[in-house]
Amino acid sequence: MARTSSPDYRRIPAVDRIVDSPEAAELASRSSRPFVTFLVRRVLDNLRRELAESPEKEWPAPDLEKRIHESLKQEFHSWACPSLKKVINATGVILHTNLGRAPVGDAARRQLEEVASNYSNLEFDLARGSRGKRDVIAGRLLETILDCPRALVVNNNAAAVFLILNSLAEGGEVLISRGEMIEIGDSFRVPDILRKSGARLKEVGTTNKTHLSDYRQGFSEKTRLVLRVHPSNFKISGFTSKPGLEELSALCASRSVPLVEDLGSGCLIDLEADRIEPEPHPRESLSQGADLVCFSGDKLLGGSQAGIIAGSSRHVQRIRQNPLFRALRVDKLALAVLESTLIAYLTRREESEIPVVRMIRTDAGRLRERASQLASRLSGLRTDLTVEAVEGVSVIGGGSTPSQNLPTWLLRLRSSATSATGLESLLRQSDPPVLARLDREAVLLDLRTVFPADDARLVDILGRIGQ
Ligand SMILES: *Cc1c(COP(=O)(O)O)cnc(C)c1O
């Protein structure tokens, strides 16, 4: 009979034996016995899997139990510490969707702390001593900054688009250009949102060209709304055209149908001054005839996750009366950050107080200085590492300014001890994690998105990883 090499699972102790140990009891005293039992099961399952993969491995019993207790401690630690944590973004993508989009500046952070850890007048009118509304808080600032009759804030821009369509077009048709039937990262698809809103989609024009006459022909007595969507993260170039907002708005007005523009990013700064092709300013869209605009609070605006709807009083009022408005309402902490961010724009302190704006405007010369300083500090640090300061490009990201770059300076790292992918992975798993770019045989760190206050930490991390 052939010898089987099935693993000897009898070597794995029973769950109860570990749960009853003093080590596990200590962890249970800091949480609960069922939780520790759950962790023990996980640890033993992992062990069983390991054994199945290498059945010939010999584990002396005492050593095995020691290993189990160590894994149990690690497992406990990984649950008892928050998994959401700071990372150093050295990718050069300023608005990185996977890395939390816009970081918050000092003034907004102080406001966030104050509101988070105290009671607040969130829905209380202090002058009158009566119930108030949370969304008037940022509304007033938005109306001033955007020079529009009404604005309100909801949970995010996807919610804003949904709420607009559901409030103004449910049961009717929405005209939209084929060239704007887009999907934005995070599976936000215009056609899907539209369907769920209860409105019917009516595409007009073609992917590259849509004329005013296409919209005109698309109108019927069922048309409730015309939606324009900013293409955000891509650019169709070459043989393309679409009508200007002004002519489209005149057509919509003649049919008494609102024109809504989903701007995506909501850029309130003049990017042209930063030599970047401009993004449409919400104020301009409104003055050119859009009845409503909507945009995100945490893309180019540089604030918190929120969706801003601004424009005509009548339409904003209808949206506010939709019962779904309550379901999609903005959280108070997001509101605290948003209000503080808007005040920075109002008082022209956006560059000093909004990190996203500051990062966009950081001069390449300043980045060059930092890169060469860091490169010289790092080259003496360890023998296996080669560090150079090299020129490169950063991007704004977050569904804005596609195919446009900001000149930057990078640290180009190579290690004689490990591959570029190995180095990238060590950085990613360091504390705090450093997210870098890979360039085939080297790792690139873009200093534009690294806070200068983290430069010293970066040196420290690079000094100790993999050692
Ligand atoms: C990003 C984006 C959205 C979604 O905004 P969130 O704030 O992420 O919900 C919707 N429309 C456009 C055009 C966008 O760029």
Residue 400 CB partners (closer than 8 Å, separation 6+): 95, 232, 233, 264, 265, 267, 279, 299, 300
Measured CA angle at 15 (ends 11, 18), to 5 deg:
85
CA torsion 233-236-241-247 (nearest 10°) is 0
Quote the pLDDT of residue 1: 44
Cα 153 to middle of ligand 1, angstroms: 14
Ligand 1 site, residue 184, Cβ cutoff 6 A:
yes
User: Per residue of the chain (467 residues), what is the pLDDT tens digit?
Assistant: 444 566 677 888 999 999 999 999 999 999 999 999 999 999 999 999 988 887 776 666 678 889 999 999 999 999 999 999 999 999 999 999 999 999 999 999 999 999 999 999 999 999 999 999 998 889 999 999 999 999 999 999 999 999 999 999 999 999 999 988 877 766 778 888 999 999 999 999 887 889 999 999 999 999 999 999 987 655 666 667 788 999 999 999 999 999 999 999 889 998 877 777 778 899 999 999 999 999 999 999 999 999 999 999 999 999 999 999 999 999 999 999 999 999 999 999 999 999 999 999 999 999 999 999 999 999 888 889 999 999 999 999 876 666 678 999 999 999 999 999 999 999 999 999 999 999 989 999 999 999 999 999 999 999 998 77
Single-letter amino acid, residue 108: A
Cβ distance 219 to 175 under 8 Å? yes
Ligand 1 site, residue 180, Cβ cutoff 6 A:
no
Structure tokens of 12? 């794995």
Ligand 1 site, residue 230, Cβ cutoff 6 A:
yes
Strand 434-435 to strand 223-229: parallel, antiparallel, or no bridges (unpaired)?
A: unpaired
The answer to whether the bond into 432 is cis (omega within 30° of 0) is yes
Q: Which of 99, 197, 233, 296 to mutate to test the pocket of ligand 1 (most atoms within 8 A of CB)?
A: 296
Q: How far apart are CA 52 and CA 70, in angstroms?
A: 20
Q: Which of 98, 163, 184 to mutate to test the pocket of ligand 1 (most atoms within 8 A of CB)?
A: 184
Q: Which of 180, 262, 263, 401 to mutate to test the pocket of ligand 1 (most atoms within 8 A of CB)?
A: 262
Cβ distance 302 to 102 under 8 Å? yes
Ligand 1 site, residue 95, Cβ cutoff 6 A:
no
Ligand 1 site, residue 229, Cβ cutoff 6 A:
yes
Quote the pLDDT of residue 96: 93
* Residue 177 region by backbone torsions, left for phi larger than 0, else alpha for psi between -120 and 50, else beta: beta
Cβ distance 200 to 227 under 8 Å? no
Cα 157 to middle of ligand 1, angstroms: 5
Counting atoms of ligand 1 from 1, which one is nearest the CA of 298? 7
Name which residue sits closest to atom 7 of ligand 1, judged by CA.
157
Q: Which residue has the tokens 């952070």?
A: 109
Residue 322 CB partners (closer than 8 Å, separation 6+): 163, 166, 167
**372, burial (CB in 10 Å: exposed 0-12, middle 13-18, buried 19+):** middle
Name which residue sits closest to atom 13 of ligand 1, judged by CA.
264
How far, rounded to the nearest angstrom, does the alpha carbon of residue 176 sit from its chain's CA centroid? Answer: 26
Closest CA to 434 of 465, 412, 398: 465
Ligand 1 site, residue 415, Cβ cutoff 6 A:
no
Q: Which secondary-structure segment (H or E) carries 251? A: helix 245-254
Cβ distance 75 to 41 under 8 Å? no
* Residue 232 region by backbone torsions, left for phi larger than 0, else alpha for psi between -120 and 50, else beta: left
Q: Which of 162, 180, 182, 188 to mutate to test the pocket of ligand 1 (most atoms within 8 A of CB)?
A: 188
Residue 340 CB partners (closer than 8 Å, separation 6+): 107, 108, 111, 112, 303, 353
Ligand 1 site, residue 157, Cβ cutoff 6 A:
yes
Single pTM value for the model: 0.91
Cβ distance 138 to 153 under 8 Å? yes
